[in-house]
Amino acid sequence: ISSTLYITLLQLRIYFLITFGSSMIQSILSTKALVFVWSNILIAILIHLTSIRSLCYIFFLSIIAVLHREPFAIIKNYLLLDEDQSFLFEVSVAWLNARCLSFSIDRIHKTSLTFHDFLLITSYCLYLPSFFTGPINDYLSFVSNITNESTHQSSHTMRRSLLNIARYLFWALILDMLLHFVYSSSVYYNFHILSSFNAWELSGFGYALPCLFYLKYLVIYGFVGAIAAADGISMPSPPKCITRIHLCSYLWRHFDRGLHLWLLKYFYKPVINGQWTFLRRVFGTAVCFACVGLWHGIDTAIIVWCLLSFMGVIIENFGSILEDLNIVKQAKVSENFAKQVNCRNYIHYSLVLNEHFKSSLIY
């Protein structure tokens, strides 16, 4: 329906996205949950209209900070949600407020709000394919896609979207079959089982965990992206295969591409502020991982995971600085020796980062 309206009546399409998104939220969660979602959006709009950037960030961080704490548990109890609904509600509120921060900062210099602006904001926040699961695309990108009347949905585009949907449904089937043999989620509740594994079993299981994690998000983000593409809306690319990722920074850059671009735009670059010194980059990276930790809920496991990831990225940055030094550039070694060193370093770094990645996922 949305794709048909995309070709014919653009304004009706925006109404459809808002109405359909709201009705599905009410159906999947509850009427009270829908009221909460709309209240959240309206409060974010009011704060945005003050044009005070810091208030927009404070509102976002406040919501995320209480998301995994007792005050939010009280709200969920009031909404009378079951276990599955409670999980979906918690995750969707996190994504919702990430979108609220996006439109607030992207429109920070606009002190007025027309009715058309209001419709664009609410359609962005309530866009159903990515509402519960992500990924996130920024507000300006969404508006550009939805208001670009010169773009049309060709039969080729629709055919490609349908093929991608079939592709990700196939991988969803593969994932479902694998979960009958590798019980990745149950490890968290039965951690003692790992003590009975020998080295080969532990290594194999440790390798299977990130592969299943990758496959899960490939299905979720890929499926959402394929549906959005049929709708004329571009989403961040799905994660790249982790078996060919050997750098920590590359993992964070390409696993959740939408989250990376969102952190880069609204946290990292504002902290850097055009001053690309090593200390600025360290501080900007620390702010991003602090946000990631707050997003997932601060506890010991999350802190260890974020610290390990932070250290991995900083070590890479420090290594790139050393590589640019003249004394390093001018160092002359034989071609044969360089090949041996590169080979050994590649093996060493791959093993270290692989172990770091496994430990991060276990945490």
Answer whether residue 344 is part of any domain. Answer: yes
Contacts for 335 with CB less than 8 Å, ≥ 6 apart: none
Q: What is the pLDDT of residue 1?
A: 58
Print burial letters for 170-207: b (CB count within 10 Å at least 16), e (below 16). Answer: eebeeeeeeeeeeebeeeeeeeeeeeeeeeeeeeebbe
Q: Are residues 59 and 158 in the same domain?
A: no
Residue 87 burial (CB count, 10 A): 13
Distance CA 135, CA 95 (A): 8
Residues 86 and 10: their CA atoms lie apart, in Å, by 34
Does residue 232 contact residue 6 with C-beta atoms inside 8 Å? yes
Note whether 357 and 251 are within 8 A (CB).
yes
pLDDT band per the 50, 70, 90 thresholds, residue 299 = confident
**Residue 359 — very low, low, confident or very high, per pLDDT cuts 50/70/90?**
very low
| 281 within 8 A of 261, measured Cβ to Cβ | no
Buried b (16+ CB within 10 A) or exposed e, 259-280: bbbbbeebbbeeebeeeeeeee
Same domain for 136 and 80: yes
Residue 210 forms part of a structural domain: yes
What tokens were used for 20? 């359909």
User: What tens digit of pLDDT does each residue of 25-48 get?
Assistant: 999 999 999 999 999 999 999 999
pLDDT per position as a tens digit, 149-185:
655 566 777 888 889 999 999 999 999 998 888 777 7
Residues 124, 25 share a domain: yes
pLDDT of 348 strictly over 50: no
More confident position, 320 or 216 = 216
Helix 335-362 vs helix 300-324: angle between axes, to the nearest 10 degrees?
Answer: 160
Tokens at 15, concatenated:
């109404």
CB atoms within 10 A of CB 2: 21
Q: Is 330 inside a domain boundary? A: yes
How many structural domains comprise the chain? 3
Domain assignment present for 199: yes
Rounded mean pLDDT of the chain? 85
- Environment class of 243 (CB within 10 Å of its CB; exposed 0-12, middle 13-18, buried 19+): exposed
Nearest Cα neighbor of 165 from 217, 214, 215, 230 is 230
Q: Answer whether residue 238 is part of any domain.
A: no
Instruction: Write down the pLDDT at residue 362.
Output: 40
On whether both 300 and 219 belong to a single domain, the answer is no
Using alpha carbons, list the distances in angstroms from residue 309 to 209, 227, 358. 17, 32, 12
Residue pLDDT, tens place only, 79-119: 888 889 999 999 999 999 999 999 999 999 888 899 999 99
Q: Are residues 85 and 183 in the same domain?
A: no
- Residue 8 has a pLDDT of 54
pLDDT at 248: 87
For residue 186, tell me if it sits in a domain. yes
Q: What is the mean pLDDT of residues 264-282?
A: 92
Show which of 194, 210, 231 is a domain's final residue. 231
Same domain, 259 and 362: yes
Question: Are 253 and 357 in the same domain?
Answer: yes
Q: Are residues 183 and 198 located together in one domain of the fold?
A: yes
**Identity of the amino acid at 173:** L
**Residue 294 exposed, middle or buried by CB count within 10 Å (0-12, 13-18, 19+):** middle
Tell me, what's the pLDDT at 36? 96
pLDDT band at 331; cut points 50, 70, 90 = low
231, 264, 280: which is the final residue of a domain?
A: 231
Among the candidates 147, 181, 202, a domain finishes at 147
Same domain, 128 and 13: yes
Q: Based on the fold, state whether residues 177 and 58 are members of the same structural domain.
A: no
Tell me: do 143 and 46 sit in the same domain: yes
Residue 237, in any domain of the structure: no
Range of the domain at 305: 244-363
Cis (ω within 30 of 0) for the bond into 129? no
Q: Does one domain contain both 135 and 109?
A: yes
- Domain presence at residue 137: yes
Cβ atoms 208, 184 nearer than 8 A: yes
